[in-house]
Amino acid sequence: MNYPVWYLPGVGGGLLMAIIAITHVFVSHFAVGGGLYLVLTERKARRENDAQLLEFIKKHAKFFMLASMVYGGVTGVGIWFTIGLIQPDATSDLIHTFVFGWAAEWVWFLVEIVALLIYYYCFDRMDEQRHLLVGWIYFLAAWMSLFLINGIIGFMLTPGDWLENRNFWSAFFNPSFWPSLLFRCAMATLLAGVFAFFSTALISAAGFRQKMTRYTSRWCLLSLLVAGLAGFWYLQVLPGSAQQVLAISPTIQRSVIIGAFAVLSLAALVTLFTLWRPAWHNLTVALLVALSSLLVMGAFEWIREADRRPFVIYQWRYSNGIAVSDAERLDSGFLAQCRYSREREVREDNLMAAGAELFRFQCYACHTLGGINNDLRTRTASASFPGMVNYLTTMHEKRPFMPPFIGNELERQALAAFLVGELHGKPVQRTSQGEAHPGETLFAANSCDMCHEAELVFNWAQGKSLAEVDQGLATLSQIDSSMKDFAGTEAERQALAEYLLDPHRTAVAAAAFSGLQVLEEHCVLCHDAQLTLDWAVTRDAEAIRHGLLHLSQINSSMEDFAGSEAELDALVLFLAGQAHGGVQ
């Protein structure tokens, strides 16, 4: 909120960041593990006096240099450029907390570049020991970069004691530092083997190709085993609320499935095509192994990023950039205190514009409009204005991985108006939940039962058509000269006529309407309304009630219905009525 928003509603900054970051992390881990692969394999070649292996390493070093230095370097700069635009407040937090850590990482990165250039271009110009020493210097510099970045990245999910003492070392050696470091080291050596498969696939001599393919496969399989153990350790150190998000977030659950599939695919491909039958190895296999590895790395990074939600820095700054400590102050009025908002308050004439600004500053960090990632047009298609207002009031409690709405009631209604009225053209008019049928309200407002027993009026209406009751209300003076004709509008007169014809039916209709509101407020922001109705169609009212009270047993990502008893009754009545032909 202290910086302008880089607004890309169709793409979203989060997705753009994910694409750049995941591919960068993929290559940068290769830059670490690949350095170890180079120096150990070169040492093996020189110890065994294997000229063929030495030539292979020289060729692989060129591929390694181009991939890690060019793509890795460009995307590394791209990450800084992107995070500075989409999360400027959080970037400022990281710079101020880790300024010397960043400086040290840049020094090590410079050493990496120089050492790698010397390693490749002086491959045949230096004596063996000095050349190996340069290789070790490169690997040490690359690993130190990983060591430093790991502490900073881990801090964002597990800041630990830093939240209390603001100490650099508490932030750096945070609770997830060591398991994360072990996992990343294992992934680095895994990717060293994965990328080496491209080089081994191009070896012309069949016997040597199979030998190097099998040698490289052992790097991958051992690293994959260590990565699995480190990943399990990593999960154990996550804080409680992050564990909760891990269990209920649909995004994380999808990523877990993708990651598990990728791990199994990777293990199968490496075992079958490179260890057991290295003769079957070729560029296609290398590409499939690389894609599987990218999915493994991507799933881990996606889960780690998503598990921070609703924070970008755990318990310090929400994912929309608002500091947790500022939330209470901003609840008095967000727009007035938002430096770059074009609207400073909510008025009747700027309701939609104010809502659009609130979307940009509070929703856009995770959601798009018509985009491919967390599209709010699709997610709000079934919502009504009252339902959206209520959802914004309680969304953090219902979906803990989403930040709470921050602002006053007028701003909440403005955002709801934008999401429902502007995006979908729906009416923006609050209707109180559970209100009486309009006819019942009119019956009481006109004091009909002050002069007549209610039963007498209802008996008069029985046996008549709606048109006859409506006409009777319009000409009450002709029925009894002491009465006056109904003086309300035609719509009000018809509503009263409907109520008099069948007060029970209209009460049920009112309850069904209330049930629709409960559905909109509790369900449709996560599920399409039709999906809920399809679920209800095969059940009677008692089964629907039982299902709503035990939603977590149907799907572990859902919570049991937590509304009031009246809301539950209304929702059951609505679902049962709609599923079996509507309210009759």
User: Is the pLDDT at 132 greater than 90, yes or no?
Assistant: yes
The first and second tokens of residue 522, run together, are 């509790």
User: What are the pLDDT digits (tens) for 346-358?
Assistant: 998 999 999 999 9
* HEC per residue, 370-386: CCCCCEHHHHCCCCCHH
Residue 434 pLDDT = 44
8 Å CB contact between 283 and 202: yes
Residue appearing with tokens 């048109």: 467
Q: Which residues of 470-499 are buried (b: 16+ CB within 10 A; e: fewer)?
A: bebbeeeeeeeeeeeebeeeeebbbbbbbb
Residue 433 pLDDT = 41
Residue 385 pLDDT = 86
Four-point Cα dihedral 573, 579, 583, 584, nearest 10: -130
Instruction: Give one DSSP letter per residue of 206-222, joined into a string.
Output: HHHHHHHHHHHHHHHHH
Residue 131 pLDDT = 97
User: What are the pLDDT digits (tens) for 245-303?
Assistant: 888 888 888 899 999 999 999 999 999 999 999 999 999 999 999 999 999 999 999 99
The first and second tokens of residue 236, run together, are 């154990």
The first and second tokens of residue 421, run together, are 């009225």
**Which one-letter amino acid corresponds to residue 5?**
V
- Give every CB contact of residue 439 below 8 A, 6+ residues apart in sequence: 495, 496, 497, 498, 499, 500, 506
Q: CA end-to-end span of the chain, whole Å? A: 51
Q: Is 166 left (phi over 0), alpha (psi -120 to 50) or beta?
A: left
- Give the residue from 157, 151, 146, 181 showing the smallest Cα distance to 68: 146
User: Is the pLDDT at 567 greater than 90, yes or no?
Assistant: no
User: Is the pLDDT at 404 greater than 60, yes or no?
Assistant: yes
Residue 290 pLDDT = 98
Residue 537 pLDDT = 84
Q: Which letter does DSSP use for residue 271 in this model?
A: I
| Whole-number Å distance between alpha carbons of 467 and 68 | 81
Residue 384 pLDDT = 80
The first and second tokens of residue 138, run together, are 């490169």
8 Å CB contact between 41 and 52: no
Q: Which residues of 68-96 are buried (b: 16+ CB within 10 A; e: fewer)?
A: bbebbbebbebeeebbebbbbbbbebbee
Q: Is 311 helix (H, G, I), strand (E, B) or coil?
A: strand
Residue 165 pLDDT = 97
With 0-12 / 13-18 / 19 or more C-beta atoms within 10 angstroms meaning exposed / middle / buried, residue 192 is: buried
More confident residue, 3 or 151: 151
Residue 28 pLDDT = 96
Among 2-6, 100-104, 112-116, the least confident range:
2-6
User: Is the pLDDT at 441 greater than 70, yes or no?
Assistant: no
The first and second tokens of residue 226, run together, are 């260590």
Residue 442 pLDDT = 67
8 Å CB contact between 442 and 496: yes
- Work out the percent of the chain whose per-residue pLDDT is above 70: 91
State which H helix or E strand residue 415 sits in: helix 409-417
Residue 511 pLDDT = 54
User: What are the pLDDT digits (tens) for 23-81?
Assistant: 999 999 999 999 999 999 999 999 999 999 999 999 999 999 999 999 988 899 889 88
More confident residue, 467 or 365: 365
Q: pLDDT confidence of 448, banded at 50, 70, 90?
A: low
